[in-house]
A and B are shown apart, each in its own frame.
Chain A
């Protein structure tokens, strides 16, 4: 799943470690999220959205089959 986490993080000049500490996850999880290899849980997605003060849909790019219609 593609995300805008890396783009948003770089805009705000935050390191992966700082983001990981803020979200209470490991740096490897941030790396995997940014590369699209790992899909965040609902709780983590919500925390990321709160951190960047955006909605989940603004950060996580859902594929066509992941949408209702």
Chain B
């Protein structure tokens, strides 16, 4: 399964090696974000005595652990790929295959549509009891529409 923000038109193993090395730097940043999230969630209650509900702290810890673990696993996977040429070629073909990229694009469009509809319904119904929920979701939907408009202009000038 191709990742949501993955997919590339790289055509050679050498280019793919450079792509993987750049990805490893991004994974290092993700690892740091995960660690910081974990540390903040641990320190928040124990050291800073912040009055946050347990489940919120649990969520932070979950995100922190998940980001840390995922970045380590992907980093090690990339390092292994960089050492084995045949695996590297298969991974490159999987990522750059045009059909896979089209599937990923279509799946992203559908998922985005589902997300927007869900956000709108939650905004409509949840907003009756929690006005702040309505404001936040309304802002996010407007942000999506604005970002889409800007991105459309930029991409249409590029191609």
Contacts and interface: CB of A to CB of B under 8 A. Distances in A.
Chain A interface size range: 10 to 19
Interface in A10-69: 20, 24-26, 28-29, 32, 38, 40-41, 44
A26 B11 contact: no
A44 B99 CA distance: 11
Interface string B101-139: 010000000000000000000000000000000000000
Which secondary structure dominates where chain B touches chain A?
A: helix
Nearest to B98: A41
Interface string B70-109: 0000000000000000000000011011111010000000
A25 B93 CA distance: 6
A40 B97 CA distance: 11
B93 A28 contact: no
A41 B11 CA distance: 15
Contacts of A28: 97, 99-100
Contacts of A24: 11, 93, 96
Nearest to B9: A43
Given A24-B96, A25-B93, 6 more contacts: A26-B94, A26-B100, A28-B97, A29-B98, A38-B102, A41-B98
Interface of A: 20, 24-26, 28-29, 32, 38, 40-41, 44
